[in-house]
């Protein structure tokens, strides 16, 4: 049950090509975002499309796979955990960000 405490599963499409960074330690980091889409009908019976964007990061071998195979528009299923962090921007303002740290990824859709 402990694995259920902070678990996120999403299926969506990449909004842009992943950003890959190699840190001084040699560890690889992939940053990317995916969009999830839902549709529903409002009180008037009109179809409403709702798109949510999610920031994701991945490390190590998962980042290697992302770098090699993923690009803008690809549909993926991911599993990971939700994390929050803060940083100071160039003007000294504190900024907050919520990200999903990906530990599993599954490529969906057509092979390219």
- Identify which of 13, 50, 58, 56 has the alpha carbon closest to the alpha carbon of residue 35: 13
Listed as ranges, residues in the chain with pLDDT below 70 are 1-3, 110-112
In the prediction, which pLDDT does 111 show? 55
| 3-class DSSP assignment, residue 6 | coil
- Could you tell me the two tokens for 59? 């490390």
In the prediction, which pLDDT does 112 show? 52
Could you tell me the end-to-end alpha-carbon distance of the chain, in angstroms, rounded to an integer? Answer: 38
| Sequence spans of domains, the chain | 2-37+49-107
* pLDDT tens readout for residues 1-14: 666 789 999 999 99
CATH level 2 (architecture), domain 2-37+49-107:
Beta Barrel (2.40)
- Identify which of 20, 16, 35, 46 has the alpha carbon closest to the alpha carbon of residue 78: 35
CA 81, CA 57: separation in Å to the nearest integer?
A: 10
pTM of the model: 0.82
């Amino acid at each position: 049950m402990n694995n259920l405490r902070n678990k996120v599963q999403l299926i969506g499409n990449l909004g842009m090509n992943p950003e890959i960074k190699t840190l001084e330690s040699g560890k690889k980091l992939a940053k990317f975002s995916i969009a999830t889409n839902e549709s529903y009908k409002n009180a008037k019976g009109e179809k409403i499309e709702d798109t949510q964007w999610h920031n994701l990061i991945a490390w190590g071998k998962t980042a290697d796979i992302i770098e090699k195979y993923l690009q803008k528009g690809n549909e993926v299923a991911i599993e990971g955990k939700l994390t929050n962090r803060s940083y100071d921007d160039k003007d000294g303002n504190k900024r907050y960000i919520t990200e999903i740290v990906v530990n599993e990824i599954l490529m969906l859709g057509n092979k390219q």
